[in-house]
Amino acid sequence: MTTVPDHSLLARLDTQPRVRDFISRAVASGRASHAYLFLGAPGSGKLDAAWALAQALLCERAGEDGDASSTLAGAACGSCDACVRVARHTHPDVHLLAPESATGYLINQTRELLEDVALAPIRARGKVYIIDRAEQLRANTANALLKTLEEPPAGVTFILLGTSTEVILPTIVSRCQCVPFRTVSPVRAAEAVERATGTSPERCRMAVSVAGSPARAIEFLKNAERQEARRQMVRAIDSLRHADEADVLLIAKDLMVAINAPLAEVKSTQQAILEQNADYLSRGAMKQLEDRNKRELSARERSGIMEALASARSLLRDVLMRLQGVPAPAMNGDVEDIIDRLCSAATVTGATAALDAVASAERCIARNVTPQLAIEVMLFDIRKALTCP
C-alpha cells in the first residue's frame, strides 16, 4: 500500500472520522450537495474539513482509475496542481469569506460574492465558497444570498461554517445539508497531530494550542515562518519586563514583520494568477480579481495575527496555571525556562490581566483596528500586568 501523499487534506480529518467518511462518500458518489452547513464548536476542525472537501471537489484526478495513492474513496489525489494549491490556500477558485465588520457580514460583501459566483472558474471545473461564521449572516445581508444558495450555477459549492443551527437564520439552515462535528479535546487533537507527523507530544501540544485544530497544527509544524512568528511572540513577552516604551514599539514592529512573512507567498501567487489572466479577462473581471486578492490578503493577515495572539495566550495560560499550582504539563514545554522566568516576576492577578490584554487585542482585530496598533497596546498592557503586582 502506498502512503497518503503530503497534500491530501481528507486523510488529516483524523479526529472527525464520520465527517471524513461523509465527505469521501459524497464526492465518490458524484452526488455532492451544492450547499453544506458544517456545525460544531470552535476547534472541532470545520474549516479543515471545508478545505478538504474543496480539495476533493476540485482535484484534477478525481474519478481517474488506477490512482491508488489514497485509501479513501472520493479523496483528492493530494498531488495534482489543484490539490497542492488548495492545500496551500492559494487556489483562485476556492474563496474563504469572513465577516468584515464587528456586526457581521456587510451588504457589500454579499453583493460582491454574488457577482463572483456568476463568473466562470479561473482554473478548476468548479468553484467553492467557504463562508465562515454563518451566524453572522443577518437577514438584510442573507436574503440576497438565499436564491443562489438554493440554486447556485453549475459547479458552484457553498460550505457554510457555524456553531449551531439555533444561531443561524432558519432560511439558511433549510437550504443547506447540515453536517455535525463532534467536539475534540486538545489532548485528542494533539494525539492526532502526533500520529500524522511523528513529532514529539510536547511540540504537538504546543502546535494545537497555537493553531487551534489538528489540521492547522500539522500545517503550522511544516511552516517555518509561522513557527518563527510564534517564537518571536514568546520572546517578546519574555523581554517586556526589561523593555522601555521605545523598546516595546520596536518589539511590536519586529513582530508584525514576522507575522506577515508568510504573506509573501500569497502575494506572489496572486500576482502570477493576475499575469496569467491579464490577456483574456475583461477589465471588469480583472478589477474584481484584484479586489478579491486584496480581501484575501487582509483575511490572511488577520489569521496570522490571530495565530500570534493565540501563541501569546497559550504562553500566558501556562504561566497562570503554574502560578496557581496546576500540575498539568505546559502547552509550551519547549520554553520552560521562559515560563519559569515569567512566573518568578508575576502574580496570579497579573497573569490574568495579561490574558485579558490578549483577549482585548483579539476583539480589536475583529473590529478591524490596525493590527500593529492592537499589538502595541497589548504589549504595553502585558508589560504592566506582568511587572506590577
Is residue 184 within the footprint of Zn ion (CB under 5 A)? Answer: no
Among 26, 72, 77, 169, binds Zn ion (CB under 5 A): 77
Q: What does the per-residue mask of binding to Zn ion show for 4-43, with x meaning CB under 5 A?
A: ----------------------------------------
Closer of 124 and 374 to Zn ion (Cβ): 124
Residue 337 Cβ vs Zn ion, minimum distance, rounded to whole Å = 44
331 touches 355 (CB < 8 A): no
Counting DSSP H helices and E strands in the chain, the numbers are 16, 5
Buried b (16+ CB within 10 A) or exposed e, 2-19: eebbebbbbbbbbbbeeb
Among 23, 37, 80, 131, binds Zn ion (CB under 5 A): 80
Residue 131, helix vs strand vs coil: strand
**Number of C-beta neighbours around residue 333 at 10 A:** 15
Q: How many residues bind Zn ion (CB under 5 A)?
A: 6
Distances (CA, A) of 299 to 53, 85, 204, 367: 20, 17, 26, 13
Cα-to-chain-centroid distance, residue 95: 13
Residue span binding Zn ion (CB under 5 A) among the ranges 41-49, 72-80, 270-278, 364-372: 72-80
Closer of 83 and 211 to Zn ion (Cβ): 83
Residue 78 Cβ vs Zn ion, minimum distance, rounded to whole Å = 6
Is residue 83 within the footprint of Zn ion (CB under 5 A)? Answer: yes
Closer of 83 and 97 to Zn ion (Cβ): 83
Q: In what side-by-side order are the strands of the sheet with 127-131?
A: 94-97, 127-131, 156-162, 35-39, 177-180
Closer of 19 and 59 to Zn ion (Cβ): 59
Considering only residues 298 through 327, tell me which ones interact with Zn ion, judged by CB under 5 A.
none
Closer of 91 and 175 to Zn ion (Cβ): 91
Nearest to 92 by CA among 118, 141, 125, 127: 127
Residue span binding Zn ion (CB under 5 A) among the ranges 19-27, 64-72, 80-88, 222-230: 80-88
Residue 264 Cβ vs Zn ion, minimum distance, rounded to whole Å = 25
Nearest to 354 by CA among 209, 230, 240, 247: 240
210 touches 307 (CB < 8 A): yes
Closer of 76 and 149 to Zn ion (Cβ): 76
Is residue 72 within the footprint of Zn ion (CB under 5 A)? Answer: no
Residue 83 Cβ vs Zn ion, minimum distance, rounded to whole Å = 3
Nearest to 181 by CA among 366, 39, 349: 39
Residue 153 Cβ vs Zn ion, minimum distance, rounded to whole Å = 23
Among 76, 211, 323, 342, binds Zn ion (CB under 5 A): 76
Per DSSP, 59 falls in state -
Is residue 59 within the footprint of Zn ion (CB under 5 A)? Answer: yes
String of DSSP letters for 175-228: TSEEEE-----HHHHHHHHHHHH---HHHHHHHHHHHSSHHHHHHHHH-HHHHH
Closer of 66 and 325 to Zn ion (Cβ): 66
Residue 74 Cβ vs Zn ion, minimum distance, rounded to whole Å = 12
Residue 299 Cβ vs Zn ion, minimum distance, rounded to whole Å = 24
Is residue 57 within the footprint of Zn ion (CB under 5 A)? Answer: no
- Rounded to 5°, the CA angle 122-78-30 comes to 70
Number of residues assigned to the chain: 389
Residue 228 Cβ vs Zn ion, minimum distance, rounded to whole Å = 30
Binding site for Zn ion (CB under 5 A): 59, 61, 76-77, 80, 83
